[in-house]
């Protein structure tokens, strides 16, 4: 077989569909977020980033950076191996306590990313609970889908954010069969939010465990940043709350928070935990500083909400179509992969604005979009520049507007 030709033709078909992904070559600058330098064949230009998942700019927060510097100087660079072989770094132990406290759970368990926490956490539970059936929301993230798949359990997909369909499907499985309901709080592409209380009520009625991915909510919702489950007073009802340290907390890593026995069980059986080097202590220290800060401080959350509201209002005034939702995520709908990429390219090349196009398979075909995530650090001028750039491109391409 001509392997190279195989790879090239696969890439060519992505290009033909307008789905080939080009990553902007960006240099972030601590202290200047959301500005970054973009390296391109034409040189280096300042750009404004409008699609970062460092939602609150915690990736440049002085307390986070200081904690990381101090940890490197104290403990060195890496963790020195897997926790099974090399033991715990004390920082990991402290961070797990911090996370358990954040969600009001007995324990927490760290992973190297949110993806791994879902893949390994959910996968291990689904694989080891005898004959477990997993009920998975139709909108679930790839990390949960992959975890469920590798567990080889029986999977049933319920209609997105639909407790009635979940109830119907749970009723079809015998009462004594172990059941696990997996869903998210804030769905990152539409920015809609799950009815956690109703889903928990249905799960409880059928004796099912619940597993909630709060990746796009931790740090952002709830008085202490404990996510939508905290904001709605539902955290105690969830069997497992999963989160990331890489988005609003601005560092990297993932975790589950649950009962002591459940976390200990996953720690003892999950290959995605056991056989991989632990997070560097500096990463854990940075994440801990970020979580502690956002447990106390509302400033970042309030400022972000203000920015989000302002972007929505300016988009409305310009008649630019965006999905209405109760979260911090603003999807500007385009509905065509090639156009979406074209708009993103023009924003970058002509206006020094970086918004990555979101195409299939991340979202269904025909719902291609620009996903805008305003941060506390986007100024009024940044917002005017973004909206006027979009408006100009909308006019040039002749895209439809909506009534204000
Ligand atoms: C990003 C994401 C993850 C993975 O988290 P990482 O820490 O980036 O690996 C998990 N779930 C959802 C819904 C996500 O969007």
Distance from the alpha carbon of residue 329 to the mean position of ligand 1, in angstroms: 15
| Paired residues of 353 in beta bridges | 48
Q: Which residues of 131-144 are buried (b: 16+ CB within 10 A; e: fewer)?
A: ebbbbbbebbbebb
Please check whether residue 71 is in contact with residue 91, taking contact to mean a CB–CB distance below 8 angstroms: yes
- The minimum-distance atom of ligand 1 relative to the CA of 188 is 15
Quick one: three-class SS letters along 228-264? HHHHCCCHHHCCEEEEECCCCCCCCCEEEEECHHHHH
| Residue identifier of the C-alpha nearest atom 8 of ligand 1 | 114
CA 394 to ligand 1 center in whole angstroms:
31
Helix axes 380-397, 337-351, angle to 10 degrees: 130
52 HSE (CA, 13 A, CB side): 30
- Beta partners for residue 372, in sequence order: 330
CA of 130 to the centre of ligand 1 (A): 27
User: Given ligand 1 and candidates 54, 247, 249, 255, which is best to mutate, with the most ligand atoms within 8 Å of its CB?
Assistant: 247
Q: Which of 54, 114, 142 to mutate to test the pocket of ligand 1 (most atoms within 8 A of CB)?
A: 114
Residues with beta carbon inside 6 Å of ligand 1? 113-115, 118, 141, 143, 184, 188, 213, 215-216, 244, 246, 254
pLDDT of res. 85? 92
Mutation pick for ligand 1 pocket among 215, 241, 245, 253 (CB with most ligand atoms within 8 Å) = 215
Dihedral angle sign, alpha carbons of residues 353, 354, 355, 359:
positive
The closest residue, in CA terms, to atom 7 on ligand 1 is 114
Q: Ligand 1, residue 53: give the atom nearest the CA.
A: 1
Distance from Cα 114 to the centre of ligand 1, integer Å: 5
Q: What are phi and psi for residue 74, nearest 5 degrees? A: -80, -45
Ligand 1, atom 13: closest residue by C-alpha: 141
Dist. CA 141 → ligand 1 center (Å): 7
Residues with catalytic roles: 247
Distance 118 CA to ligand 1 centre (A): 8
Per-residue pLDDT of the chain (404 residues; tens, 9 = 90+): 999 999 999 999 999 987 888 899 999 999 999 999 999 998 999 999 999 999 999 999 999 999 999 999 999 999 999 999 999 999 999 999 999 999 999 999 999 999 999 999 999 999 999 999 999 999 999 999 999 999 999 999 999 999 999 999 999 999 999 999 999 999 999 999 999 999 999 999 999 999 999 999 999 999 999 999 999 999 999 999 999 999 999 999 999 999 999 999 999 999 999 999 999 999 999 999 999 999 999 999 999 999 999 999 999 999 999 999 999 999 999 999 999 999 999 999 999 999 999 999 899 999 999 999 999 999 999 999 999 999 999 999 999 999 86
Indicate which residue's Cα is closest to atom 6 of ligand 1: 114
The predicted structure's pLDDT at residue 22: 87
Q: Note the pTM of the prediction, 2 decimals.
A: 0.97
Structure confidence at residue 17 (pLDDT): 84
């Amino acid at each position: 077989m001509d392997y190279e030709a195989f790879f090239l033709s696969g890439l060519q078909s992505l290009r033909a569909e307008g789905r080939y992904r080009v990553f902007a070559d960006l240099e972030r600058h601590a202290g200047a977020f959301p500005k970054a330098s973009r390296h391109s064949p034409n040189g280096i230009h300042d750009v404004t980033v409008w699609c970062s998942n460092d939602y609150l700019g915690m990736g440049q927060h002085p307390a986070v950076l200081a904690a990381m510097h101090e940890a490197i100087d104290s403990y060195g660079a890496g963790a020195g191996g897997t926790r099974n072989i090399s033991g715990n770094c004390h920082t990991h132990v402290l961070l797990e306590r911090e996370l358990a406290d954040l969600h009001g759970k007995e324990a927490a368990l760290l992973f190297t990313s949110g993806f791994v926490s879902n893949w390994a956490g959910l996968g291990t539970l689904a694989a080891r609970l005898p004959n477990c059936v997993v009920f998975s929301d139709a909108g679930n993230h790839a990390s949960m889908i992959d975890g469920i798949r590798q567990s080889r359990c029986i999977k049933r997909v319920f209609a997105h954010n639909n407790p009635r369909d979940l109830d119907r499907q749970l009723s079809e499985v015998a009462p004594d069969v172990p059941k696990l309901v997996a869903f998210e709080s804030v769905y990152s592409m539409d920015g809609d939010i799950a009815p956690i209380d109703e889903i928990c009520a249905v799960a409880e009625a059928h004796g099912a465990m619940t597993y909630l991915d709060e990746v796009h909510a931790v740090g952002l919702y709830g008085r202490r940043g404990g996510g939508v489950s905290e904001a709605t007073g539902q955290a105690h009802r969830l069997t497992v709350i999963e989160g990331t340290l890489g988005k609003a907390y601005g560092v990297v890593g993932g975790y589950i928070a649950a009962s002591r026995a459940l976390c200990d069980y996953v720690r003892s059986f999950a290959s995605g935990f056991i056989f991989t080097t632990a997070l560097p202590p500096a990463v854990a220290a940075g994440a801990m500083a970020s979580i502690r800060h956002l447990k106390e401080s509302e400033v970042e959350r309030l400022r972000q909400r203000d920015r989000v509201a302002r972007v929505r209002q300016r988009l409305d005034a310009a008649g630019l179509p965006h999905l209405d939702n109760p979260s911090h995520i603003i999807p500007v709908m385009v509905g065509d992969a090639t156009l979406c990429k074209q708009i993103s390219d023009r924003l970058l090349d002509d206006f020094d604005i970086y918004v990555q196009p979101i195409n299939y398979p991340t979202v269904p075909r025909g719902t291609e979009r620009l996903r805008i995530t305003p941060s506390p650090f986007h100024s009024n001028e940044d917002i005017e520049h973004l909206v006027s750039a979009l408006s100009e491109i909308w006019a040039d391409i002749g895209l439809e507007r909506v009534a204000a």
